[in-house]
Structure 1
């Protein structure tokens, strides 16, 4: 928590955009953040997952090239702890036990997010593919 700042995002605020540098990450204190992925053709981004209190917003800060893989938007007013990614990575390097714990935590979050994204994509495209076969 020594690397954390308390921050607030109003409803509708874009927290980060896919492709931009990931220099921070957040743990939600209150409110809802939606992770989104862009859709070709200028359509509105597709929601992937809603995150609430106690959940990690952002994992791209841990893996080079440190660029966001999704976008995030505050769906309600959000209060969060914001962490400086560089400072946390340096602390992880300085304390291998801490680094391992953070790495395992982010890895579990990432595995869950990938599964949820897969489920969301199947929900979006599987019915269309099934009807095209018939």
Structure 2
């Protein structure tokens, strides 16, 4: 993920501080599923330590790992958009420490302060665009006859 999509680079310090007031520290053991594609998205995380793999169900095949996220990266954006269902799945691939955020509380802050809400929306939009690109490249690498066509 590019540095422009980490919370520390995407949000101004005052907005980061407001968001962090809602954070709660959590830990996940290796192999823990954080969420499943198609289920209700009611929270999100920012990784402090460890790694989380994002995966996509592919009919007739194993789930494809789209991207692996680490320190400072956002895990989960589906909470921000209706119908608020996860578009991917996520699993801890190492022990993970993260900050967890209640999606409803964050959406409430966004509604109360339009500038804060705009900053959050721009950040989430950057993350979605990056994940869409990563998904496309990964699926082409896995399933296209000759890969993505990008030189090695």
Same fold (TM over 0.5): yes
Distance in 1 (alpha carbons) for counterparts of 2:62 and 2:49: 25
Q: Could you say which residue in structure 2 is the equivalent of 1:98?
A: 116
| Aligned equivalent of 2:96, options 48, 54, 78 | 78
* 1:113 pairs with 2:131: yes
Q: Deviations over 1:1-35 (max 9, x none)?
A: 11110000000000000011000000000000000
Structure 2, unaligned stretches of length 5 or more?
Answer: 1-19, 148-152
Displaced runs of 4 or more, over 6 A = none
Structure 1, unaligned stretches of length 5 or more?
Answer: 130-134
Superposed CA RMSD in Å reads 1.4
**TM-score normalized by the length of structure 2:** 0.81
Q: Could you say which residue in structure 2 is the equivalent of 1:56?
A: 74
Q: For residue 105 of structure 1, report the CA deviation from its aligned partner.
A: 0.3
Distance in 1 (alpha carbons) for counterparts of 2:144 and 2:35: 29
Q: Could you say which residue in structure 2 is the equivalent of 1:125?
A: 143
Distance in 1 (alpha carbons) for counterparts of 2:146 and 2:57: 20
**More strand as a share of residues:** 1
| Aligned equivalent of 2:47, options 10, 24, 28 | 28
| Aligned equivalent of 1:17, options 26, 31, 36 | 36
Q: Deviations over 1:70-101 (max 9, x none)?
A: 00000000000000000000000000110000
Residue-pair matches, total? 129
